[in-house]
Amino acid sequence: QFKTWCMVEIFLAGVLVSFVKLMAYGDIGIGSSFVPYCLFCLLQVRAFQCVDRRWLWQDIEPAPRLDRPLTVGR
């Protein structure tokens, strides 16, 4: 079940639509990096399904307090 879309899936959908449209204009093919990119998309979707987002956000610690203010140029 998709909860939200990530930029990786949107880019892949755009590439596939462009690929289908450009096939009418000439002989094009996919390179050797397309298959690993598709595998990356599938693995990222699976990883997002397996991660409990509430646990992840609760586990992040707040940023430490600064003892003195930041100074520019030092």
State which amino acid sits at residue 8: V
User: What is the model's pLDDT at position 27?
Assistant: 86
pLDDT tens digit at each of 74 positions of the chain: 556 667 888 888 898 899 889 988 888 888 888 889 889 988 988 888 888 878 877 878 787 888 888 888 86
User: What is the model's pLDDT at position 2?
Assistant: 58
Helices (H), the chain: 7-22, 34-50, 53-59
pTM for the structure as a whole: 0.55
Residue 68 φ then ψ, to 5°: -135, 155
